[in-house]
Structure 1
Amino acid sequence: MSVPSVAVVAINHFSPFHFSVPCIIFGDILPGQKLFDLKICAGEPGPLRSRQGFSIETSFGLDVLEQADIVIVPYWRDPAERPHQELLDALVAAHQRGALVVGLCLGTYVLAYAGLLDDRRAGTHWEFEQDFINRFPSVRLDTNALYVEDDRLVTSAGTAAGLDCCLYLVHREHGRSIANKVARRMVIPPHREGGQAQFIEQPVPLSTRDANVNKLLEYLRNNLGKVHNLNDLADYSLMSRRTFTRHFQKATGMSVGGWLMSERLQRSQELLETTSHSIETIAELVGFQSAASLRQHFKARFDVTPTEWRKTFQAGSIVT
């Protein structure tokens, strides 16, 4: 079975950190489980060296972009410098034939110089906000976002936000379970709070050190569609209401209501991704009183509607 092909563009004076992020995440990160076909390609003629003394040798050039499913520009050395025209043309051609084109941190500048971001939303490092706006007034820059996606163009904020962005791409191609597994292997959270709602939600704790609470969590997960109140749950746990709420908060770090909401929203994501159930049916299965309630809470948490979520992660295409 073929896997998505990823081309990472290397340029002279590259940033070792920014360059290594996609190379790690889209390389052989899960032993025995190939997720992507990664190639490093030279984005311009001449040497490819970082300012710290690292150098890159690759036998691949920009022709790799003609076949890649995902093209990533992880960095750009100087916002005032227009990239090589051959690179800009290759990025435009890749996007026109249907590839996903990604700019991490100052890599957003390269996509902007190519004209790909005109009249579209984008993100980049917050320090360069005014410079970017002055150079590319037609781009709708969102400096609050850890990453932004718009019409198969994905751009991220600075440095560590590239990790968030790349994990999103893993989720897009392989689903939440694989994305969370990659995050755990890298010892990073699969979700970070940011100015923009993220597409990879923070997992609800699967278990705690409290055996009684663990038994209750299993019961709740198996009965999300039911109405639960604190008195009934305290009785189920053989505790007083006050003792129960204290134990639950200590064990999970969340209130009962907060835990149930996160679990219901996470389960609704999974059902949207893996089933053809209607929004009404999903709302009933996960315990919302109505489809309207599910839509309201889903939109508030993820900044997209359930229908938009399904279109993105079930159909395999990025949407605005």
Structure 2
Amino acid sequence: MHTVAVLALDKVIPFDLSTPIEVFTRTRLPDGRLAYRVQVCGVTPTVDAGAFTLQAPWGLEALAEADTIIVPGCADVDRTPPEEALEALRQAATNGARIASICSGAFTLAATGLLDGHRATTHWLGAVELAKKHPEIDVDPDVLYVDNGQFLTSAGAAAGLDLCLHLIRRDYGSAVAADAARLSVMPLEREGGQAQFIVHDQPPTPRGCVLEPILRWLEDNSAKELTLEDIAAQAGMSTRTLNRRFREQTGTTPLQWLLRARIRQAQYLLEATNHPVDRIAGQVGFGSPTAFRDRFKRIVGTNPNTYRTAFQRTPD
């Protein structure tokens, strides 16, 4: 079982701490087994979390055994992290552990020197300070998260959810990640102030959303050739009103949302079947295999064949 260690240092941000605990402990494999073992560890058993204190059941030795380490944000970025924690992170990295930070946790990870020469992000409010303190890091404030392979960083609190789902998809594929997203009731496609560095599974439609009926209809009919006018007619709105509602509630346009739904379905088919890529392109609603490959690479960050090699399960 994959072990995730969550590092709790004094002044830890409770939301950042709870996000990986909640997401990873709820993740299940297709056969119902737990996907992760989660351990909260600290320099000392008692950790100051601001409004309350918490008990960390494991010490820093847990980092040495972890497959993945999550470094939550700290409420005081000027606070110097304990040297024993930094050294434990460095040693874990040497041992091959994957290390990811949430929000201002990037300051702790940066203090280890492990991010030197890499691209990284943090909450936009702290991006200038992170770049000032660590000029050897290429700080990008305009992304939700950055994946450098072994080291990952994410922006503000909600981006921690995106990061955790990305890690799940890396470990177990998009179907397991989609189930985890469903349990987390993730928001719909987000654009704007901080755009995703790598776009992954489009999260499910939250219950009670005004657009829920039309979004579910789009999911069910995504393989069909649909125009904006078709979608507006189904929704009983003008195209102008439909566009406005989508922007307000999903952060994107109806047609962009539809494209993401098609790519998400294609990811599943690439993982679960041996269907040729050209056939999958038609199955999910792309009239041209070339257009499908281009859109898939733009959204997922790799081509369909490479994605299949990385994530294919035993086909049904």
TM-score range, shorter chain: 0.7 to 0.9
SS in 1 for 2:5: strand
| Larger Rg computed on CA atoms | 1
In the other structure, the counterpart of 1:56 is 55
The alignment status of 1:127 with 2:125, answered yes or no, reads: yes
SS in 2 for 1:26: helix
Evaluate the alpha carbon distance shift between residue 277 and residue 156 of structure 1 in structure 2; reply closer, same or farther with a 3 A threshold: same
Distance (Å, rounded) in 2 between the aligned partners of 1:49 and 1:263: 42
Gap regions ≥5 residues in structure 1? 231-240
State whether residues 27 and 176 of structure 2, in contact with CA within 8 Å, keep that contact through their aligned partners in structure 1: no
Gap regions ≥5 residues in structure 2? 247-252
Distance (Å, rounded) in 1 between the aligned partners of 2:169 and 2:24: 12
In the other structure, the counterpart of 2:41 is 41
State whether residues 26 and 36 of structure 1, in contact with CA within 8 Å, keep that contact through their aligned partners in structure 2: yes
In the other structure, the counterpart of 1:238 is none
In the other structure, the counterpart of 1:201 is 202
State whether residues 192 and 202 of structure 1, in contact with CA within 8 Å, keep that contact through their aligned partners in structure 2: no
State whether residues 204 and 263 of structure 1, in contact with CA within 8 Å, keep that contact through their aligned partners in structure 2: no
Q: Please tell me the residue identity of whatever aligns with 1:34.
A: L
In the other structure, the counterpart of 2:234 is 248
In the other structure, the counterpart of 2:249 is none
Post-superposition CA distance 1:62-83 (Å, at most 9, x none): 1111221111111234323332
Match of 2:93 among 92, 95, 108: 95
The aligned runs of 1:50-199 (5 Å cut-off) are 50-58=49-57, 60-189=58-187, 191-193=189-191, 194-196=194-196, 197-199=198-200
In the other structure, the counterpart of 2:302 is 305
Distance (Å, rounded) in 1 between the aligned partners of 2:195 and 2:55: 35
Bigger mean CA offset, 175-184 vs 257-266 = 257-266
Q: Please tell me the residue identity of whatever aligns with 1:98.
A: G
Q: Please tell me the residue identity of whatever aligns with 1:305.
A: T
In the other structure, the counterpart of 1:235 is none
State whether residues 95 and 101 of structure 1, in contact with CA within 8 Å, keep that contact through their aligned partners in structure 2: yes
Distance (Å, rounded) in 2 between the aligned partners of 1:117 and 1:312: 29
Evaluate the alpha carbon distance shift between residue 70 and residue 190 of structure 1 in structure 2; reply closer, same or farther with a 3 A threshold: farther
State whether residues 164 and 191 of structure 1, in contact with CA within 8 Å, keep that contact through their aligned partners in structure 2: no
State whether residues 279 and 306 of structure 1, in contact with CA within 8 Å, keep that contact through their aligned partners in structure 2: no
Distance (Å, rounded) in 2 between the aligned partners of 1:73 and 1:155: 9
Match of 2:22 among 24, 27, 45: 24
Q: TM-score, normalised by structure 2?
A: 0.76
Distance (Å, rounded) in 1 between the aligned partners of 2:2 and 2:304: 25
Question: Cα distance, 1:187 vs. partner?
Answer: 3.0
RMSD between aligned residues: 3.7
SS in 1 for 2:47: coil
Q: Please tell me the residue identity of whatever aligns with 1:139.
A: I
Question: Cα distance, 1:245 vs. partner?
Answer: 5.4
Distance (Å, rounded) in 2 between the aligned partners of 1:182 and 1:229: 29
Evaluate the alpha carbon distance shift between residue 312 and residue 155 of structure 1 in structure 2; reply closer, same or farther with a 3 A threshold: farther
Question: Cα distance, 1:14 vs. partner?
Answer: 1.8
Evaluate the alpha carbon distance shift between residue 178 and residue 303 of structure 1 in structure 2; reply closer, same or farther with a 3 A threshold: closer
Evaluate the alpha carbon distance shift between residue 48 and residue 18 of structure 1 in structure 2; reply closer, same or farther with a 3 A threshold: same
State whether residues 204 and 259 of structure 1, in contact with CA within 8 Å, keep that contact through their aligned partners in structure 2: no
Question: Cα distance, 1:163 vs. partner?
Answer: 1.8
Evaluate the alpha carbon distance shift between residue 104 and residue 34 of structure 1 in structure 2; reply closer, same or farther with a 3 A threshold: same
State whether residues 297 and 304 of structure 2, in contact with CA within 8 Å, keep that contact through their aligned partners in structure 1: no
Distance (Å, rounded) in 1 between the aligned partners of 2:84 and 2:305: 35
SS in 1 for 2:149: coil
Bigger mean CA offset, 119-128 vs 21-30 = 21-30
Distance (Å, rounded) in 2 between the aligned partners of 1:5 and 1:24: 14
Evaluate the alpha carbon distance shift between residue 114 and residue 175 of structure 1 in structure 2; reply closer, same or farther with a 3 A threshold: same
State whether residues 74 and 106 of structure 1, in contact with CA within 8 Å, keep that contact through their aligned partners in structure 2: yes
SS in 1 for 2:157: coil
Distance (Å, rounded) in 1 between the aligned partners of 2:127 and 2:6: 25
SS in 2 for 1:38: strand
SS in 1 for 2:25: coil
